[in-house]
Amino acid sequence: MSRSSYMLVAVLPLAFVAACGDKTTDLFPGGGARVRFANATNTTVSVVNDGVLFTSNTGIGFGGTTSCITVDASNPSALVFTNTSTGATIVGFTPTLTPGGSFTIIAYIGATGTTQFAILNDAFTPTSGSAGVRTFNAASGSGTVTIVSNGTALPGTSATFGTASSFVSVPSGTDAITVDSGTNQIVDAGSLTFNSGQTSTLIVGPAAAGTTTLRSFTTNGC
């Protein structure tokens, strides 16, 4: 058995405990946190957690996300992001995570053309019968973006480039979602379903290489 195989076997019990009990603070001496990674870049990314790379966290392209990952909140640098094509570590990830917390980590291309990481706290309790939704603006040059639901702008969901809005509560159900910048519609996200009690982040991202149309995708909190 190879060394990498031993590492995988050693980690499986921790993953099993997290899946069954979700007691993230019991997994690490300093306390654990739950994170989900979302890729808003055109680079394919792989995620290594504490030296282990699972197949499901390999080759994540634009709009892709991981499952919820339990990480050591006292040593978040054990979470490493690499360029899948070259194997090179993507630098710039310097998070602060709270034990027992839940976070969405978004990779996006900053104003200087380098990969940046946004670490968003998922702590939010929607009002009864509602879901929580927020915007993250990963589209350079888009100005201030706002979610529009069934033709009406959602107050509190505006975000400038590289920032997220606060969560707002929206009635559960399926809505026609677009994104506006000022008075201009820049993205048609289609019909999105918001489930009661769930939090979601709508990420507005750059156009694919060789195109000019901005894109969007959503990811749920852990």
Amino acid, single-letter form, for residue 74:
S
pTM of the model: 0.86
pLDDT tens-digit series, residues 143-200? 999 999 999 999 999 999 999 999 999 999 999 999 999 999 999 999 999 999 999 9
Phi-psi sector, 14: left (phi>0), alpha (psi -120 to 50), beta: alpha
pLDDT tens-digit series, residues 31-82? 899 999 999 999 999 999 989 888 889 999 999 999 999 999 999 889 999 9
Residue pair 48/116 in contact by the 8 Å Cβ criterion = no
Residue with tokens 């940046």: 116
Residue pair 146/160 in contact by the 8 Å Cβ criterion = no
Angle at 196 between CA 15 and CA 157, to 5 degrees: 95
pLDDT tens-digit series, residues 84-128? 999 999 999 998 999 999 999 999 999 999 999 999 999 999 999
Q: How far apart are CA 77 and CA 135, in angstroms?
A: 26
Phi-psi sector, 162: left (phi>0), alpha (psi -120 to 50), beta: left
Domains in the chain, CATH or no CATH each = 1-123 (2.60.40), 124-222 (2.60.40)
Residue pair 121/103 in contact by the 8 Å Cβ criterion = yes
Q: Which residues contact 33 (CB under 8 A, 6 or more apart)?
A: 24, 70, 71, 73, 76, 97, 98, 99, 100, 101, 102, 103
Residue pair 199/186 in contact by the 8 Å Cβ criterion = no
Which of 219, 185, 221, 209 minimizes the C-alpha distance to 64? 219
